[in-house]
Amino acid sequence: MWDFEIGRTLGIVIRTWPFVILRIIVYFGITVAYIVATGAGAGVGYGVGHIFDDGGPLSFSVWGGIFGFGLVSMLLFWLREYILYMVKAGHIAVMVQLIDGRDVPGGQSQIAYAQGVVRERFVEANVLFVLDQLIKGVVRVITGLIGGFAAVLPIPGLQGIAKFVNSVIRMSLTYVDEIILGYNIRVGSTVPFETGRQGVVLYAQNGTTMLKNAIWLTVMTWVLGAIVFFLTLAPAAAILYAMPGQLAGWAFVLAIVFAWAFISAFVEPFVIAALMQVYFRVIEGQVPDPEWDTRLAESSKHFRELKDKALASVGGSRWDRSPTA
């Protein structure tokens, strides 16, 4: 079946509750920003629409909402990626400790310990961010190739299966960057581009095992997400019932947003912790396969860029060195 322990994985997520709360705050804040900006843009557009005859208030309201949404998207895209990844980096640093059966050393708080690990391993946050973007670029290429192939399957009745397989494959690849980050932290790397390169190759050469566990995790997260959603939806329904008028509608919307944020903040760490358990176990004693390195370099310009940065950081190749040493 699967190669991770459900109880242990849930325990790790629960024990890292300070980061779960941080994730909720970030997800909730970003979503509210989108809602407010879109609503404000629509309101301004509606008011401006009374000045002009063409289109009228409704047309300007729509364009105002689109403008507000687009403006926030541009402003928050990099900021969102940066904030979320710095939160994820700290969370992963603590989860790596717990996966290896160690507590946070020295009686430190989880957040203080995580900040120290991230600063020590990556020196500059920009290095961490660039590494993340490069790995995501590799993932996008691989996902696109697999998804494009399955989308044109000519066999009737298998399109639904193909879509499910694609979703599982995408899930298997979605958290590669987080897993590679955990690998960097676990081996105590001071050359993140080189160990990032090694980690991607190790992931690729163990893709069958990772995919098998991703299938189980897809089913589990659907079930877990549904349970959490309905549990958090109950208070939202109570608010709608108890508070009459327009205020109730806004309260209900915010409650739904909070429910989504809680699901994202809880389910995502569960998947990452589970896949990291599998990844750490399956690569034990392995070294990166140069053939896989060549395949990835041929198919992805982002991997070639990662490879160039890796070689520049160490002055050559390290394939003769065990990554678990």
Answer yes or no: are the C-beta atoms of 81 and 135 closer than 8 Å.
no
pLDDT, average across residues 95-121: 82
Q: What mean pLDDT is predicted for residues 62-74?
A: 65
* b/e burial code for range 129-159 (CB count within 10 A of at least 16 → b): bbbbbbbbbbbebbbeebbeebeeeeeeeee
Percent helix, strand and coil across the chain, each rounded to 5? 80, 0, 20
Q: How would DSSP label each residue in 226-290?
A: HHHHHHHHHHHHHHHHHS-SHHHHHHHHHHHHHHHHHHHHHHHHHHHHHHHHHHHHHTTT----H
* Residue 53: band (very low, low, confident or very high) from pLDDT cuts 50, 70, 90: low
- Confidence check: pLDDT of 116 > 50: yes
Rounded to two decimals, the pTM is: 0.76
Residue-wise pLDDT for 184-235, tens only, equals 999 888 888 999 999 999 988 888 888 888 878 888 888 877 777 777 667 6
pLDDT digits 0-9 by tens, 255-298? 677 777 777 788 889 999 999 999 999 999 999 999 888 888 88
Quote the pLDDT of residue 319: 45
Q: State the average pLDDT over residues 238-249.
A: 63
